Copies of this chain bind each other. A is one copy, B any other.
Amino acid sequence: MRGLFASRRAILAALLTSAAGAAFLRSPAMAQGDPLPSWNDGKAKQSILDFVTAVTRDGSANFVSVPQRIATFDNDGTLWVEQPMYTQFAFAIDRVKALAPMHPEWKEKQPFKAVLDGDMKALAESGERGLVELVMVTHAGMTVEEFEGIVTGWLATARHPRFKRLYTELVYQPMLELLAYLRANGFKTFIVSGGGIEFMRPWSDRVYGVPPEQVVGSSIKTRFQRQHDIPELFRLAEINFVDDGPGKPVGINEHIGRRPIAAFGNSDGDLQMLQWATTGGGVRFGLIVHHTDAEREYAYDRNSHVGHLEKALEAAQLDKWTVVSMKDDWKRIFPFN
């Protein structure tokens, strides 16, 4: 009997360490201790705790069943650093440099010349067309596995120009706690990013605990083909879907097929996602990360091109979304602090 009890206890302990077990066993919103230790006490933190308590308290009028607990997170600027440029753009620039020896014509051809010369002004002048050209040259013309290998290899060594850290280290500790807290309360957490879906999937599980099938993003088209009887998916230089702005609710509907009850963003590109998630009945939650901390991270909003935040900040007032001031609400910024 004792042996049986011991083994059951071992199984229980094992279960408690698994997300599924934790979600099942733990009283709603009652993790031991503070589930958000990197958040300062205040309105922002309290609004999160109140929301989770409201939707998980069994028998409450605001109770939401586990399958409906869908939360969507923007990535750039919401979960990891997006300044001074989107990480994926830094990747594209490094790829152009790596591929340049095979393309001598790039020395005279824009936007490649600008990249190779480090001439950011000329690069900006090449506009959206130049940007798309850079993306296609560096993201297409290979199989999905080859691209995954390139991304993984780059992220293993590339460093952020200011923090001198791997990009995957520059994730926000308070947001990691928030992701874990929601999952511990039965939420399924998704990334819904304007960034490339295949650029995030190789590391989203390891870094955020979000598996590839819960990542939504922009994409280029792929083609199924067989080379010497080996099936492969080949990446084409053609845009498939832009998961930004009004594209985010579209991407959410296509990938998830349910309307989230909570959404988290930091820029005008997240406006429609937050509008979509915070209407539709019942208690809902919207949150905007406001970058107000030039010292520990960056301070920017309406004057920045990257992560431009203006309309979504106005909407936050009207729609009563939580606005997080990075400087005031976050005790720590990064896991390594």
Contacts and interface: CB of A to CB of B under 8 A. Distances in A.
Interface string A130-162: 000000000000001000000000000000000
A272 B197 contact: no
A197 B225 CA distance: 24
Interface in A1-23: 5, 8-9, 11-12, 14-15, 18, 20-21
A35 interface: no
A250 interface: yes
A249 interface: yes
A166 interface: no
A222 B254 CA distance: 9
A100 to B, nearest CB: 29
A230 interface: yes
A256 B25 CA distance: 28
A25 B7 CA distance: 12
A28 to B, nearest CB: 15
Given A15-B15, A213-B257, A255-B213, A231 B21 contact: no
A121 interface: no
A219 B254 contact: yes
B257 A233 contact: no
Nearest to A18: B24
A209 B70 CA distance: 17
A224 interface: yes
Given A222-B253, A255-B213, A14 B8 contact: no
B257 A201 contact: yes
Interface in A207-253: 211-215, 219, 221-226, 230-231, 233, 240, 246-250, 253
A101 interface: no
Given A24-B18, A67-B205, A272 B224 contact: yes
Given A15-B21, A18-B24, A197 B275 contact: no
Given A12-B12, A231-B249, A272-B231, A257 B212 contact: yes
A164 B39 CA distance: 59
A276 interface: yes
A197 B231 contact: no
A168 interface: no
Contact of A197 (B9, B14, B254): B254
A257 B246 CA distance: 23
A165 interface: no
A240 B254 CA distance: 10
Contacts of A43: none
Q: Which 4 A-B pairs have the closest CB atoms?
A: A212-B257, A20-B20, A224-B246, A224-B249
Given A213-B213, A223-B246, A233-B249, 9 more contacts: A5-B5, A8-B12, A11-B12, A201-B257, A212-B256, A213-B256, A222-B250, A231-B272, A233-B253
